[in-house]
Amino acid sequence: MARNKIALIGSGMIGGTLAHVAAREELGDVILFDIAEGLPQGKGLDIAESTPVYGASVNLKGVNDYAGIAGADVCIVTAGVPRKPGMSRDDLLGINLKVMKAVGEGIKAHAPNAFVICITNPLDAMVWALQKFSGLPTEKVVGMAGVLDSSRFAYFLSEKTGVSVADIHAWTLGGHGDDMVPMVRHSTVGGLPLTQLVAQGWMSQAELDAIVERTRKGGGEIVNLLKTGSAYYAPAESAIAMAKSYLADQKRVLPVASYCSGQYGLKDMYVGVPTLIGAGGAEKIVEFDFNADEKAMFDKSVASVNGLIEACKGIDPSLA
Ligand code: APR
C-alpha cells in the first residue's frame, strides 16, 4: 500500500512541529507548503536529515505551489498569523479570513479528497469559512481546538491531584475562546467525575474553579510567556491525534470543531463537540446532556462563534 501523504498548509511554528511529529511517527510522506520562500524547503530538509537517526522511512518536501499538495490524504492548515500579547484570537479574523480563501481554493483544486484539519484562529469561524471556500463535504473539514483545550485541562488536573495524565479524561466543548465550556460533570480523574473529586476532598471548589479558569485562558498564558507568538507543541500534537484517528480509522471520540446540522440545536455552524473520527471523517457527533448551567455556558460560547461568523459574512459577502 502506498504511503499516506500529509500536506501541511503553513510551515511556521505549528507547521514545522507537525512535520517533525508526523515524520517521527511515520504517519506518511510530508509536504510542507507556505507562501514564504525557503521556509518549507528548509524545514522539510532539516527534518528529512533527521530521519536516518531514528530510522523513519518517510519523505519530506517543501513547496510554494499548491500543485505540491496534490493527492494529499490529510491537510492540516495553520496558514495565517498567530496572536501577540494583548491580542484576542478574534483580532486575527480579517487577515486570516483572506488566507482561508486562498487555502480553501488551493485544497479544492488539488486535494479535494483530503481530510482537512484547520488550526488557524479564530478557529470556529475559520474552519466554517474554510469549508465554504473549499466546497469539501462538511464531514471532511474539521477544526482542532477541543483536543488542545481538553489536554490543557487534563494537565492542570494532573498537576493538582498527582494522578497520571493517562488516567484523566477531560472535556471542553464550545468555541475556542475564553468562554469555552470545560465540562466539569463529564470529566474524570481516575474514573471519578470532578464534582465527586471535590466532594471527596481531593481539591476545593475554589481550586477546581481556578483550574477551569486557567484552562479557558490557557492559550493567552502561553502567548504572554512567549511574547512573539502562540503555542505550537500542544496544538501540533492535538492535530496529529485527530489525523491518526482518521488515517487508521481508530474511531476515537474527541472534542472537535465539527459542522453541526441540527445536533445540539445548531444549524450551519462549527463549534467544539465530541466527535467520532474515523475513515469517513467526522462520522458522528456525540450529544452530551447539559444541565441548565452548562447549557447557559454553551449558548454563550455559541453566540460568540455566531458573532464571528456574521463578521466573516460582512467582510466577504460570498459567504453570506
Ligand atoms: N498561505 C500559506 N501560508 C501562509 C499564508 C498563506 N496565504 N499566509 C501566511 N502563511 C504562513 C506564514 O508564512 C507562516 O509561515 O503561515 C505560517 C504561520 O506560522 P506562524 O506565524 O509561525 O504561526 P503558528 O504559531 O504556526 O500559528 C498558526 O494557528 O494556532 C493558530 O493562532 C494561530 O492562526 C495561527 C495559526
Active site amino acids: 176
Q: Which atom of ligand 1 is nearest to the CA of 83?
A: 32
At 70-129, the pLDDT tens digits run: 999 999 999 999 888 988 888 899 999 999 999 999 999 999 999 999 999 999 999 999
76 is in an annotated binding site: no
In testing the pocket of ligand 1, which one of 20, 31, 78, 93 has its CB within 8 Å of the most ligand atoms?
A: 78
Q: Over range 306-313, report the average pLDDT.
A: 95
Ligand 1 center from residue 101 Cα (angstroms): 14
Q: Is 297 in the pocket of ligand 1 (CB under 6 A)?
A: no
Output the pLDDT for position 88.
86
34 is in an annotated binding site: yes
Output the pLDDT for position 45.
98
Q: Over range 275-279, report the average pLDDT.
A: 98
CATH number of 5-144: 3.40.50.720
In testing the pocket of ligand 1, which one of 9, 11, 34 has its CB within 8 Å of the most ligand atoms?
A: 34
What is the helix (H) or strand (E) element at residue 282, kind and residue range? strand 281-285
Indicate if the pLDDT at residue 149 is higher than 90: yes
Query: Do residues 60 and 32 touch, judged by C-beta distance below 8 A?
Result: yes
∠ Cα 101 220 207 (to 5°): 135
In testing the pocket of ligand 1, which one of 63, 66, 81 has its CB within 8 Å of the most ligand atoms?
A: 81
272 is in an annotated binding site: no
Q: Which atom of ligand 1 is nearest to the CA of 235?
A: 30
Q: How would residue 263 be classed by pLDDT, with cut points 50, 70 and 90?
A: very high
Q: How would residue 314 be classed by pLDDT, with cut points 50, 70 and 90?
A: very high
Ligand 1 center from residue 41 Cα (angstroms): 16
The domain limits of the chain are: 5-144, 146-314
Per CATH, 5-144 and 146-314 having the same topology is answered no
Relative to beta strand 74-77, strand 115-118 is parallel
Closest alpha carbon to 232 in 92, 121, 157: 121
Q: Over range 54-67, report the average pLDDT.
A: 98
Closest alpha carbon to 312 in 46, 128, 48: 128
At 178-203, the pLDDT tens digits run: 899 999 999 999 999 999 999 999 99
Q: How would residue 267 be classed by pLDDT, with cut points 50, 70 and 90?
A: very high
Residue having the nearest C-alpha atom to atom 32 of ligand 1: 82
10 is in an annotated binding site: yes
316 is in an annotated binding site: no
Output the pLDDT for position 291.
95
Question: How far is C-alpha 314 from the chain's CA centre?
Answer: 25
Q: Is 39 in the pocket of ligand 1 (CB under 6 A)?
A: yes
Output the pLDDT for position 118.
98
Q: Which of these CATH numbers, 3.40.50.300, 3.40.50.1820, 3.90.110.10, 3.40.50.11890, describes 146-314?
A: 3.90.110.10
At 212-226, the pLDDT tens digits run: 999 999 999 999 999
Q: Which atom of ligand 1 is nearest to the CA of 79?
A: 16
| Grid cell for residue 142 | 474539521
Residues linked to residue 33 through DSSP beta bridges, in sequence order:
9, 63
Ligand 1 center from residue 156 Cα (angstroms): 28
User: What value does the mean pLDDT of the chain take?
Assistant: 97
Ligand 1 center from residue 261 Cα (angstroms): 29
Output the pLDDT for position 1.
85
Q: Which atom of ligand 1 is nearest to the CA of 126?
A: 34
Q: Is 149 in the pocket of ligand 1 (CB under 6 A)?
A: no
